[in-house]
Amino acid sequence: QAVLGVLGGGQLGRMFVHAAQRMGYFTAVLDPDPDSPAGRVSHHHIEADYLDPGALDRLAGLCDAVTTEFENVPAAALADLAARLPVAPGADAVAIAQDRAREKAHFVACGVPCAPYAEIETIEALAALVAPPSAAHEGAGGGAGLFPGILKTSRLGYDGKGQARVATPAELAAAWERLGRVPCVLEKMLPLAGECSVIVARGADGALVHLPPQRNLHRDGILAATEVFEQNMPPALMEQAVVAAKSIANGLRYVGVLCVEFFMLEDGALVVNEMAPRPHNSGHYSIDACDVSQFELQVRAMAGLPLTQPRQHSPAVMLNLLGDLWFAQGGGAPATPPWDQVLALPGAHLHLYGKRDAKRGRKMGHLTLTAATQAQARATALRAAALLGVAPF
Ligand code: ATP
Ligand code: MG
Ligand code: MG
């Protein structure tokens, strides 16, 4: 019986395990948390740190191939495993995706525009950005065009954590201080008309397929809702996003599932924001609305199975279920949201990740609403949002 392994035991690992098991695989999850969402549903659960050599040995001994659901898994662990068995995505691609500065350099190398930015690694680099432009120092004050901007830590940021808005150069030093003086990128704030993302899957043979681009709505830096209709964006923009995502994957000689996030600007331009070397929250709708989900694509890519172009069979809206909902009913103690009412809506698909403690801002699950038409999916999603006390999207 073939065994597929995954580094990381969160909800992405759990949905990967579900897809792998459905296709007849056994699974192994490596995660230090004995109660992790994926570990609890997997055949094998190795409770250990990602860099524990003994644990990596055990995983390699058990598995036929390994993937990751955790983008910050040390690249060294992937490289170590890759010496012994197929690993997708590879350590090099993950190392680039883990670092905003390297990631942006890769986008530029692939000819895909991103927001104007500068790397800040040292106090000197910071000073150069803050200095007013002067004729004597050509190039000094080169950061003048980056304000107002967002300072982002190069590593380990997610859900808007590790970011600070900087309106003027005068605020930069304090913002860098607050983020811990770690390597950062300063990015120009762009006027967004909207955001979208594209999920692609690439096989070891170079075969490339994609899910339809999805429109994303963020609230407080966290994905709140994803809408996927056949015509939810101008067709030329959708095509441009797919071509850009594919060239980014090809440039990495990527194997596995990759999500590329984009900004749609007010002037109609498309710029890339960031990428994730794994299935992505914005692709969860594919479980219920496509004939092949992003997690099945992950299984297929790592197992060397054929990748076929997924087809979206239903318009869909996905709502993230954050821990806040458990506190929405008033009172201090967390209370279960009214699932019975939500599940009475036609086309409601509830996914809960099995996390024991609801906390504000914590992703506890998601709800996908599918329907025959775009208008119906939207109407049902708005109904669900009202029942749950989630702000409409
Ligand atoms: P994720 O959880 O998606 O990994 P993250 O913490 O890596 O999030 P980003 O995707 O960089 O954060 O930014 C979060 C959100 O902040 C974006 O989706 C967008 O709404 C807003 N944002 C980020 N950068 C910019 C920018 N340069 N201009 C305008 N808005 C921005
Ligand atoms: Mg990110
Ligand atoms: Mg993001």
Phi-psi bin for 175: left (phi > 0), alpha (psi -120 to 50), beta?
alpha
Mind listing the pLDDT tens digit for each residue in 76-100? Answer: 999 999 999 999 999 999 999 999 9
Q: Is the Cβ–Cβ distance between 373 and 315 less than 8 Å?
A: yes
Could you give the percent of the chain with pLDDT greater than 70? 95
What is the model's pLDDT at position 51?
86
> Candidates 259, 267, 273, 362: which one to mutate for ligand 1, based on the most atoms within 8 Å of Cβ?
273
- Give the pLDDT score at 137: 46
φ, ψ of residue 222 in degrees (nearest 5): -115, 140
Token couple for 205: 């043979």
pLDDT of residue 124: 86
Closest CA to 127 of 135, 136, 118: 118
3-87 CATH fold: Rossmann fold (3.40.50)
State phi, psi for 103 to the nearest 5 degrees.
Answer: -60, -45
Q: How many CA atoms lie within 13 A of 309 on its CB side?
A: 3
Nearest-angstrom CA–CA distance, 276 and 363? 17
- How many angstroms does the Cα of residue 275 sit away from the middle of ligand 3? 8
- Rounded to the nearest angstrom, the gap between the alpha carbon of residue 52 and the centroid of all alpha carbons in its chain is 26
Nearest ligand, measured from the Cα of 151: 1
Q: How many CB atoms lie within 10 A of CB 129?
A: 24
**Minimum-distance ligand 1 atom for the alpha carbon of 149:** 27
378's enclosing H/E stretch is helix 374-388
Q: Is the pLDDT of residue 279 over 50?
A: yes
> Stretch 33-46: mean pLDDT, rounded?
97
ipTM over 0.90: yes
pLDDT at residue 133, rounded to an integer? 60
Q: Which residue has the higher pLDDT, 333 or 300?
A: 300
Q: How is residue 347 annotated by DSSP? A: T
Which band of pLDDT confidence, cut at 50, 70 and 90, is reported for residue 271? very high
Q: Where are the domains of the chain?
A: 3-87, 116-188, 192-388
Rg for the chain, CA atoms, rounded: 21
Degrees (nearest 5) of the Cα angle 19, 325, 282?
A: 40
Residue 140 pLDDT: 40
- Where does the pLDDT of residue 230 fall: very low under 50, low under 70, confident under 90, or very high at 90 and above? low
Tokens of 277: 């070397």
| Chain centroid, CA 346 distance in Å | 28
Question: What does the pLDDT look like over 351-365, one tens digit per residue?
Answer: 999 998 999 999 999
Kindly report, residue by residue over 236-254, the tens digit of the pLDDT.
999 999 999 999 999 999 9
Please provide residue 132's backbone torsions phi and psi, each rounded to the nearest 5 degrees. -70, 145
Among 45-49, 111-115, 179-183, 231-235, the least confident range: 231-235
pLDDT for position 142: 58
Residue 62 has pLDDT above 80, yes or no: yes
Q: Which listed ligand is nearest to 281 at the C-alpha? A: 1
Q: How far apart are the first and last CA of the chain?
A: 45
What mean pLDDT is predicted for residues 258-262? 98
Ligand index nearest the alpha carbon of residue 187? 1
User: CA 362 to CA 357: how far, in whole Å?
Assistant: 9
Determine the pLDDT at residue 132: 65
Q: Residue 134: what pLDDT? A: 57
Between strands 214-219 and 256-265, the pairing is unpaired
Mean per-residue pLDDT over the chain, rounded:
93
Task: Say if CB 94 and CB 103 are below 8 A apart.
Answer: no
Type of residue at 138: E
Cβ atoms within 10 Å, residue 392 = 8
d(CA 278, CA 90): 11
Q: Which residues line ligand 1 (CB under 6 A)?
A: 115, 150, 152, 157-161, 187, 189-190, 192, 195, 218, 221, 261, 273-274
Q: For position 229, what pLDDT does the model report?
A: 76
Q: Does residue 143 have a pLDDT over 50?
A: yes
Closest ligand 1 atom, residue 152 Cα: 11
Residue owning the nearest CA to atom 26 of ligand 1 = 189
Please provide the CATH number assigned to the domain covering 116-188. 3.30.1490.20
Tell me the mean pLDDT in the region 138-156.
Answer: 79
Q: How many residues does the chain have?
A: 393
pLDDT digits (tens, 9 = 90+) for 114-127: 999 999 998 888 88
pLDDT at 210: 98
pLDDT digits 0-9 by tens, 2-22: 999 999 999 999 999 999 999
For the segment 176-191, the average pLDDT, to the nearest whole number, is 95
pLDDT at 197 over 80: yes
Query: Which class is domain 192-388?
Result: alpha beta
**pLDDT value, residue 164:** 94
The one-letter code for the residue type at 112 is V
